[in-house]
Amino acid sequence: MKDLYSEGATGIAKLIIDRAEKLRESGGAVLVFPHRSVDGDCVGSAGAVTLIFRSLGANAWIAMPEPLPHNMAFMGIDDLIFYPPQDFLDGDMTVNGHPYELAFSVDCSEGHRMGDNCSIFEYYEDSLDIDHHEVTHIADPLKWIEPRASSACEMVFYAAEAVAGLLGKSIGQVIDPLCAGCLMAGIVTDTGRFTYTNTRPETLETAGILMELGGDITEVCYNLFDLKTPSEFAISNAACAAARFLCDGKLAITKVTNSMFEQYGAGRDEISEVVSRLRNVGGVEFACVLRETEDGAVRGNLRSKTDFDCSEFAERYGGGGHKRAAGFTAEGADIDALADEIIKEAGKFL
Ligand SMILES: [Mn+2]
């Protein structure tokens, strides 16, 4: 493990070992919280943290904010998932018969990123966290936040390595093949199959170890990148065909309306590749996909090639993310007016 990660990984590993022991004694459960609009990294890291707690004898489940997307069914993590009922906090607060005693967030640090699970996450103030997003106002010894890491999953791998080291176990005793597949899914997702600039030499080394531990990179890449449903194929092509290229071809933007989702019978997660397809066009510096949500908001996905700061731009609309990939949800916005505004505002930087 590189020095960059060792202090943070060791710190969170000690906490995981300590909390797992407490849960083992009490019979309580940890809930692991991914963000809403789930992706391979948050689901993969949530699955992996759940499995690491289980390897230590503790009860653990992923607190899913929404149904698992069809392209993640191959991960084989159905048994790890708990869908908290709406009235969870008003009831006996048990998770499959075990009292909810610990919250653990992955790939996000704040309750408002977790959809309907926000209040359940925020019930405990002393939650643990592994996240690679820039969260400037959080400095908490219970949270390991490292924006230089490619993915939450890469961080969870280093945490698992540290757990194994502290307990004198082999890495295979902490990361089983199911866990290795989860971690591979997240690393592959957030690095765009090891092509984005967040891919570091140690990212590739980590992926190599995960292969040895049973993570199937071919299966992960096919399911998360290449496999398309017919509706996904159709609506993505329509969204790309409707894209506009402005500011001398530096800005690409497209809109996906509710009527398009109806027309193609497509789910909201079926246009996720559109924004990177727009960014890949030669000359494009900033790509934006706006889509209407079921509840009257507009979701924006942003990507940039070099200098444009997507994270900073997303913050104007209450969102966030990384410099080259970010998103936001604008409640009650009009998609056409929002598109015009983004063209005007982003144009100032292009
Ligand atoms: Mn991530």
pLDDT, tens digit, 9 for 90 and up, residues 273-296: 999 999 999 999 999 999 999 999
pLDDT, tens digit, 9 for 90 and up, residues 113-125: 999 999 999 999 9
Distance 231 CA to ligand 1 centre (A): 26
Distance 42 CA to ligand 1 centre (A): 6
Q: Report which residue type is found at 196.
A: Y
Distance 191 CA to ligand 1 centre (A): 9
Look at residue 142 in the predicted model and tell me its pLDDT. 96
Question: What is the extent of the structural domain holding 329?
Answer: 230-347
Share of the chain above pLDDT 70, in %: 99
Do 183 and 265 fall within a single domain?
no
Distance 152 CA to ligand 1 centre (A): 5
What residues have CB less than 8 Å from 54, skipping those under 6 apart?
60
Token pair 């459960």: residue: 29
Distance 154 CA to ligand 1 centre (A): 9
Please count the structural domains in the chain: 2
Do 78 and 164 fall within a single domain?
yes
As a whole number, mean pLDDT of residues 235-248 equals 98
The span from the first CA to the last CA of the chain, in angstroms, equals 39
CB atoms near residue 215 (< 10 Å): 27
Do 32 and 155 fall within a single domain?
yes
Distance 109 CA to ligand 1 centre (A): 11
As a whole number, mean pLDDT of residues 235-244 equals 98
Last residue within a domain, chosen from 204, 225, 246: 225
Distance 235 CA to ligand 1 centre (A): 25
Q: How far apart are CA 303 and CA 290, in angstroms?
A: 12
pLDDT tops 80 at residue 229: yes
pTM for this one? 0.83
Distance 91 CA to ligand 1 centre (A): 32
Distance 23 CA to ligand 1 centre (A): 27
Do 210 and 260 fall within a single domain?
no
Look at residue 70 in the predicted model and tell me its pLDDT. 86
Share of the chain above pLDDT 90, in %: 93
Look at residue 137 in the predicted model and tell me its pLDDT. 66
Look at residue 281 in the predicted model and tell me its pLDDT. 97
Position 260 confidence tier, pLDDT thresholds 50, 70, 90? very high
Beta bridge pairs of residue 62: 32, 81
Distance 259 CA to ligand 1 centre (A): 30
Distance 132 CA to ligand 1 centre (A): 7
Alpha helices for the chain (secondary structure H): 3-26, 40-55, 118-122, 152-167, 171-174, 177-190, 201-212, 217-221, 230-241, 258-264, 274-279, 310-315, 335-347
107 token code pair: 């790939």
Distance 96 CA to ligand 1 centre (A): 28
Do 216 and 260 fall within a single domain?
no
Looking at every residue in the chain, the average pLDDT score rounds to 96
What residues have CB less than 8 Å from 73, skipping those under 6 apart?
none
Do 212 and 273 fall within a single domain?
no
Distance 247 CA to ligand 1 centre (A): 30
Look at residue 136 in the predicted model and tell me its pLDDT. 67
What residues have CB less than 8 Å from 177, skipping those under 6 apart?
213, 214, 215
**Smallest Cα–Cα separation from 11: which of 150, 198, 142?**
142
160 token code pair: 């698992």
Do 47 and 146 fall within a single domain?
yes
**Smallest Cα–Cα separation from 39: which of 102, 104, 113?**
113
Work out whether the CA dihedral 200, 202, 205, 209 comes out positive or negative.
negative
pLDDT tops 70 at residue 38: yes
Do 212 and 240 fall within a single domain?
no
Do 192 and 307 fall within a single domain?
no
Distance 25 CA to ligand 1 centre (A): 32
Look at residue 139 in the predicted model and tell me its pLDDT. 79
How far does Cα 151 stand from its chain's mean position?
Answer: 8
Do 172 and 271 fall within a single domain?
no
**Beta strands 286-292; 298-304: pairing state:** antiparallel
Distance 190 CA to ligand 1 centre (A): 6
As a whole number, mean pLDDT of residues 3-17 equals 95
Position 323 confidence tier, pLDDT thresholds 50, 70, 90? very high
Do 68 and 147 fall within a single domain?
yes
Give me the phi and psi of 333, to 5 degrees please: -85, 155
The CATH number of whichever domain residue 212 belongs to comes to: 3.90.1640.10
Last residue within a domain, chosen from 195, 225, 255: 225
Position 84 confidence tier, pLDDT thresholds 50, 70, 90? very high
Distance 338 CA to ligand 1 centre (A): 26
pLDDT, tens digit, 9 for 90 and up, residues 138-195: 778 999 999 999 999 999 999 999 999 999 999 999 999 999 999 999 999 999 999 9
Q: How is 10-53 classified by DSSP, letter by letter? A: HHHHHHHHHHHHHHHHHT-EEEEE--SS--HHHHHHHHHHHHHH
Last residue within a domain, chosen from 175, 193, 225: 225
Distance 323 CA to ligand 1 centre (A): 13
Do 153 and 173 fall within a single domain?
yes
Look at residue 155 in the predicted model and tell me its pLDDT. 98
Distance 256 CA to ligand 1 centre (A): 24
**Residue 41 · residue 186 · CB < 8 Å:** yes
Look at residue 340 in the predicted model and tell me its pLDDT. 97
Work out whether the CA dihedral 189, 43, 5, 176 comes out positive or negative.
negative
**Smallest Cα–Cα separation from 326: which of 311, 315, 338?**
311
